[in-house]
Structure formats: structure tokens, C-alpha cells
Structure 1
Amino acid sequence: MSAATSPLDVPEGRKPRSRGRWQLLLILLVTLGPMILATSMYKFKFWVPDGRSYHGAMIGNGLSRADIGIQAQEQRWQLLVSAPAACDQPCQNLVYLARQIQIGLGRDASRASHALVAAQPLSSDYQQLLTREYPQLQRYPLDLQRYGEHVNEPGPQLWIVDPHGNLVLRYDATVKGKHVLDDLRHLLKLSNIG
């Protein structure tokens, strides 16, 4: 009586170990391949998308509030308006915009604050308006020399600052509030701090 052949039997001339080696190589390629590709893309800067999902100027050099002459100890995300000269109408518009953006955050409004840093004293009329209409607005002095060392943009600027005091994004006085709100919402969604 002849023995029945099983489908698991290895045909003659074929080694069972070679199949296992190919499977191991395939598994390694599938798991390590994307990591090697991503590292190579980062190191050698190829296939990097040109598009971006934010509207302001990204501050990617590690500058903090203190580096540009602002001494504040806020532990939340901050919409910071800087006025290297007198706080004229474009500056006042940014202060208003910063407050409206914080209100527009809705349930996340407590995760952010708004502030004004000015190199020159505010006019008495504007000071009274801020006290009356902007009770939560924080105010700080601006060290103009340190500010000028790092910021080459003229006029008032709106900054998004993270809870550690790092500058994240910068906008000029012509920015649309919806763009800043979208950027801040995106940052808050990705962040576990603040």
C-alpha cells in the first residue's frame, strides 16, 4: 500500500527554509521600509510637500517671548500683539482681533489668553478703553532693543505663543481673523499642553 501524499509535503528539490526566509524578508521590508523612507526624506529633503496648512509665518528657530524682549509668565496659549511703536489703529485692530479670536474658540477659550506688549505708553483714552472693554487683556512692556534684534517686520504683529513661551506663528496687521482662528484651533487640537 502506498502512502498518501499531503499538500504540505515539500516537493523534491525545494527547500522549506527558503520560503521562511522570503517571508521574514518581506515582513522586515514592510515594517522597516516606511521608517527608512521617512528618515531618508527628512535627512535628504526629497519628496517633501511644498504646501502648508497654516496661514502665518512659522517661527521655527526656537525663539521665545523672552528672546524678543517680552517678560511674561503665561502658562496657556497666547495671542500676543506686539507694538514696537505707538499703538495706532492697526495695532488696536489686532488687539480687538485677538480678543475676538479667543472668544471664537468657544469651549477652548480657557486654553488661551490675549495680551498686548507695547514699547511706548498707551494714550489715556485707549488705556481707559482697554480697562473698560478688555478686562482680561494682559499688558506687558516691550524691550525694543531685544525686539529689534530678532524681528525685522515693521508695524504691529500678532503672535501665537505656546504655553512654554515659544513663538509659533506670526501675522502682520493685514491678517484675516478666520485664518488665525483656524491655525489656533489646529494647534489646540494637536496639543496636550495648555
Structure 2
Amino acid sequence: MSHSLTLSESSSPRVGRGRLQLLLILAVVIGPMLLASAMYHWRFWVPEGRSYHGELIGGALSRADLGLPVLEESRWQLLVTAPGECAADCQQLVYLARQIHIGLGREAARGAHALATGSTPEDFAAQLAREYPQLQRFTLAADRYPAERGQAAQLWIVDPHGNLVLRYDADANGKQVLTDLRLLLKLSNIG
């Protein structure tokens, strides 16, 4: 009996140490996932800094949510929207989108620029046909355009799948938009 008592006494520390090792392994693997989930859910220890300049669009919004068709092509897009008439601020954003597209240099083939508006003044439509041959144009249905986006002209960066990524107001800084788009192209394997 003393022999079996000694045997069980010597195996007990091994079992205890094995359980401790298993718990430590689980804590190392599962702990960071639980911490990250808690940080996301309760918004603590989230850094305030960011590397983009526009408004980051979350919630998987797409071109279809703006009332626009989803395109088959797989390029990044600078999309100018104006639910009403394409007035001076809209026209400035169309010019800015083209300049940003040109500013991409050798990456320009991965991008495109487009205009979606409720209506376009006749003189500006003629100018678009003459000076903006690569500009894609769409009619924006005001009843499908989200009311919370307002009536002001806006510039959007749209990924190749048609998802809205970043949004800028009419007073957007072209260099900042170009920096954001270059970063997206650098990080992206699509488009």
C-alpha cells in the first residue's frame, strides 16, 4: 500500500502542473482575443490618432445605398455626388477628382473618376463632354439618396467592389485625398 500511495503522491504534482500549463496556453491564445473584443465593444484603450483625412464609412455601405448601379469593373473610384443640380461646389469637386486621378501617376490605371448628380447645367454638361472624356456619369435619384447625407456635393472613395470607403465635403484638400487614395492602393490587392 505504501508503494501505491507514493505513486499517487508523485503523479499529483504532474497532473497539477499539466493543468496549469494548459490554462496558461489557453490564456495566451484566448486572452488577447477577449481583450480585443472588449476594447472594440466598450471603446477603451482605442487610439485617437488616425492616418486618413476623410470620414471613414463603416457598416458596409455601397454605391447601391446611394441609388447608383454597381459596376462590373474592378477599379477604385473617386465619385462626386450632388443630389440636386451640379452647382459650383460640385463642379469644383469634379475638377479635383480628375486632378487626383491624374496625380496617381503610374497607378492611375487602378482608378477612375465619376459624377452622380440629379441634374447638370447645360453649359457644364458640354464642358464635361469636351474636357472630361474619361469621366463616368450617372443620374442620381434624389429619392434613393440617403437624406442624412444632405444636399451638398460630396467626394467619395469607392473600392473596386462598390463599397464606400471614405467621404469628403466640398472643401476637401486634394493633397490629403490623394494621400488617402495612395495609401488605400498600397494596402489593397484588388483593383
TM score, norm. by length of structure 2: 0.81
CA contact (8 A) 1:68 1:151 kept: no
Q: Which of the numbers 144, 150, 160 marks the counterpart of 2:157?
A: 160
Distance 1:62 1:32, change over 3 A: closer
Distance 1:44 1:155 in 2: 34
Letter in 1 for 2:50: R
Q: Which runs of 5+ in 1 are unaligned?
A: 1-12
Of 67-76 and 183-192, deviating more is 67-76
Shift in Å at residue 80 of structure 1? Answer: 0.4
Q: Which residue of 2 aligns with 1:119?
A: 118
Secondary structure of the 2:113 match is strand
SS in 2 for 1:146: coil
Q: Which residue of 2 aligns with 1:50?
A: 48
Q: Secondary structure at the match of 2:144?
A: helix
Percent identical residues: 62
Counterpart of 1:4 in structure 2 is none
Q: 1:150 to 1:77 in 2, by over 3 A?
A: farther
Q: Work out the number of aligned pairs and report it.
A: 180
TM-score by length of 1: 0.80
SS in 2 for 1:178: helix
| Separation in 2, partners of 1:20, 1:172 | 59
Distance of aligned partners of 1:115 and 1:36 in 2 relative to their CA distance in 1, 3 Å threshold: same
Partner of 1:89: 88
Q: What CA distance in whole angstroms lies between the structure 2 residues aligned with 1:72 and 1:20? A: 56
1:90-143 CA distance string (max 9 Å, x none)? 11110111011111112221111000111013323x222222221111011110
Query: 1:35 maps to what in 2?
Result: 33
Say if 1:151 and 1:78 are closer, same or farther in 2 by CA, change over 3 A: farther
**Contact preservation (8 Å) 2:74, 2:190:** no
2:172 is matched with which residue? 175
Deviations 1:60-97 (A, max 9, x none): 12221112112241421110001222222211110111
Letter in 2 for 1:167: L
Alpha-carbon deviation of 1:24? 5.9
Asked whether the 8 Å contact 1:59–1:168 carries over to 2, the reply is yes
Matched, 1:136 2:144: no
Where in structure 2 are there 5+ consecutive unaligned residues? 1-9
Contact 2:82 2:151 in 1 (8 A): no
Residue 158 of structure 1 aligns to a residue whose secondary structure is strand
Q: Aligned partners of 1:116, 1:53: CA distance in 2, in Å? A: 26
